[in-house]
């Protein structure tokens, strides 16, 4: 690692902060980019982190956990919205030949 290269824990923190911003701003593209950066930084951090880094790793773990809570909240919001407009998220339903299909669920939005 060169002296100018970012420490993997710094890269991980940057990726976690970017992930949080993407979640708060509902930016799917940024979320995908930050998730990839997070995975890459985590892999690099696992190779170089030592016992001296454990406190910082704990802080980053808490940030990641907070992001997971926020992501779960977004997922519930999407599911609630889909349910109330008569749609559902694709669920894992397999047909007789073993292919995954989304089972359609209809809902009347008005009275006849």
Neighbouring residues of 85: CB distance < 8 A, sequence distance ≥ 6: 109
pLDDT at 15: 95
What is the pairing mode between strands 100-101 and 93-94?
antiparallel
Q: Does pLDDT of 2 surpass 50?
A: no
Give the number of other Cβ atoms within 10 Å of residue 73's Cβ: 11
pLDDT at 83: 86
Q: What is the DSSP string of 27-69?
A: -HHHHHHHHHHHHHHHHHHHHH--GGGHHHHHHHHHHHHHHHH
pLDDT at 1: 43
Q: Is residue 108 very low, low, confident or very high in pLDDT (cuts 50, 70, 90)? A: low
Domain residue limits, the chain: 8-87
pLDDT tens per residue across span 48-100: 777 777 888 889 999 999 999 999 999 999 888 888 888 765 555 555 555 65
Q: Does pLDDT of 8 surpass 50?
A: yes
In sequence order, the β-bridge partners of residue 100 are: 94
pLDDT at 12: 92
Cα separations in angstroms, 74 against 77, 78, 87: 5, 6, 17
Mean per-residue pLDDT for 14-43?
93
pLDDT tens per residue across span 36-47: 999 999 888 888
């Amino acid at each position: 690692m060169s002296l100018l290269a970012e420490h993997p824990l710094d890269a991980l923190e940057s990726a976690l902060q970017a992930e949080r911003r993407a979640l708060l701003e509902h930016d799917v593209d940024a979320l995908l980019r930050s998730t990839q950066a997070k995975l890459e930084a985590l892999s690099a951090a696992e190779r170089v982190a030592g016992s001296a880094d454990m406190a910082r790793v704990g802080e980053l773990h808490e940030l990641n956990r907070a992001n997971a809570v926020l992501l779960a909240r977004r997922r519930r919001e999407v599911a609630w919205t889909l349910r109330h407009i008569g749609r559902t998220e694709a669920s894992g339903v397999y047909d007789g030949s073993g292919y995954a299909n989304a089972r359609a669920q209809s809902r009347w939005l008005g009275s006849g």
